[in-house]
Chain A
Amino acid sequence: MSDWIEACAADDIDEEDVIRFDHAGRSFAIYRSPEDEFFATDGLCTHEQIHLSQGLVMGDIIECPKHNGRFNYKTGAARGAPVCVNLQTYPVKVDAGKVFIQLGN
Chain B
Amino acid sequence: MTVTPSTRDYSLVGESARRAVESGLAAAEWYHTDIPRKQMKELMQRSDGPAIRDTAIWLGLLVAFGAVGAALWGSWWCVPFFFCYGVLYGSATDARWHECGHGTAFKTQWMNNAVYQIACFMIMRNPVTWRWSHTRHHTDTVIVGRDPEISVMRPPDLLRVVLNFFGLVDAWHAIVDMVRNAAGVIGKEEKTFIPESEQPRAIRIARIWLAIYLATIALAVYLGSWLPLMLIGLPRLYGAWHHVLTGLLQHGGLADNVVDHRLNSRTVLMNPISRFIYWNMNYHVEHHMFPMVPYHALPKLHEMIRHDLPAPNASMWAGYREMLPAFVRQLRNEDYFIKRELPPTARPYREEFHSEAALAAE
Interface of A toward B, CB cutoff 8 Å: 17, 47-49, 54-56, 58, 63, 65-68, 70, 80-82, 84
**B41 A56 Cβ-Cβ under 8 A:** yes
Determine how close the nearest CB of chain A comes to the CB of B120; give it in whole angstroms: 13
With A80-B103, A84-B195, A84-B197 in contact, do A67 and B44 touch (Cβ < 8 Å)? no
**A68 B102 Cβ-Cβ under 8 A:** yes
**B103 A70 Cβ-Cβ under 8 A:** yes
**A81 B197 Cβ-Cβ under 8 A:** no
Tell me, in angstroms, the Cα distance from A48 to B136 when the chains sit together.
10
B-chain residues with CB within 8 Å of residue A48 when the two chains form the complex: 27, 139
Tell me, in angstroms, the Cα distance from A17 to B40 when the chains sit together.
12
Q: What does DSSP make chain A's interface, helix, strand, loop or mixed?
A: loop
Mark out the residues of chain B between 103 and 122 whose CB falls within 8 Å of any chain A CB in the assembled complex.
103-104, 107, 109
9 further interface pairs, Cβ-Cβ under 8 Å (given A56-B41, A67-B138, A84-B195): A49-B27, A56-B45, A56-B46, A58-B107, A66-B139, A70-B103, A81-B131, A81-B198, A82-B131
With A48-B27, A84-B195, A84-B197 in contact, do A68 and B139 touch (Cβ < 8 Å)? no
**A66 B138 Cβ-Cβ under 8 A:** yes
Q: What does DSSP make chain B's interface, helix, strand, loop or mixed?
A: helix
In the complex, whether B84 has a CB less than 8 A from a CB of chain A is no
In the complex, whether B291 has a CB less than 8 A from a CB of chain A is yes
In the complex, whether B135 has a CB less than 8 A from a CB of chain A is yes
A-chain residues with CB within 8 Å of residue B132 when the two chains form the complex: 81-82
In the complex, whether B161 has a CB less than 8 A from a CB of chain A is no
Tell me, in angstroms, the Cα distance from A48 to B28 when the chains sit together.
10
B-chain residues with CB within 8 Å of residue A82 when the two chains form the complex: 131-132, 135
Size of interface on B: residues with Cβ below 8 Å to A:
22
**B104 A68 Cβ-Cβ under 8 A:** yes
With A48-B27, A68-B103 in contact, do A55 and B139 touch (Cβ < 8 Å)? no
B-chain residues with CB within 8 Å of residue A66 when the two chains form the complex: 138-139, 291
Interface centre among B45, B107, B132, B292 (most CB of A within 10 A): B292
With A67-B291, A68-B291 in contact, do A80 and B195 touch (Cβ < 8 Å)? no
**B109 A80 Cβ-Cβ under 8 A:** yes
**B41 A63 Cβ-Cβ under 8 A:** no
Nearest B residue to A57 via CB reads B41
Tell me, in angstroms, the Cα distance from A29 to B304 when the chains sit together.
27
Q: Which 10 A-B pairs have the closest CB atoms?
A: A56-B44, A82-B135, A68-B103, A67-B135, A68-B102, A65-B292, A81-B131, A56-B292, A48-B27, A67-B138
**A68 B131 Cβ-Cβ under 8 A:** no
Tell me, in angstroms, the Cα distance from A61 to B198 when the chains sit together.
22
Mark out the residues of chain B between 123 and 159 whose CB falls within 8 Å of any chain A CB in the assembled complex.
131-132, 135, 138-139
A-chain residues with CB within 8 Å of residue B102 when the two chains form the complex: 68
Determine how close the nearest CB of chain B comes to the CB of A28; give it in whole angstroms: 17
Q: List 29 A-B contacts (CB under 8 A).
A: A17-B41, A47-B135, A48-B27, A56-B41, A56-B44, A56-B45, A56-B46, A56-B292, A58-B107, A65-B290, A65-B291, A66-B139, A66-B291, A67-B135, A67-B138, A67-B291, A68-B102, A68-B104, A68-B291, A68-B292, A70-B103, A80-B109, A81-B131, A81-B132, A81-B135, A81-B198, A82-B131, A82-B135, A84-B197
Tell me, in angstroms, the Cα distance from A54 to B102 when the chains sit together.
16
Determine how close the nearest CB of chain B comes to the CB of A8; give it in whole angstroms: 14
Tell me, in angstroms, the Cα distance from A47 to B27 when the chains sit together.
11
Tell me, in angstroms, the Cα distance from A81 to B41 when the chains sit together.
21
Determine how close the nearest CB of chain A comes to the CB of B269; give it in whole angstroms: 26
Nearest B residue to A64 via CB reads B292
B-chain residues with CB within 8 Å of residue A63 when the two chains form the complex: 103, 292
Tell me, in angstroms, the Cα distance from A80 to B135 when the chains sit together.
13
Mark out the residues of chain B between 21 and 47 whose CB falls within 8 Å of any chain A CB in the assembled complex.
27, 40-41, 44-46
Nearest B residue to A82 via CB reads B135
A-chain residues with CB within 8 Å of residue B40 when the two chains form the complex: 54
B-chain residues with CB within 8 Å of residue A55 when the two chains form the complex: 292
A-chain residues with CB within 8 Å of residue B138 when the two chains form the complex: 66-67
Interface centre among B132, B135, B197 (most CB of A within 10 A): B135
B-chain residues with CB within 8 Å of residue A47 when the two chains form the complex: 135
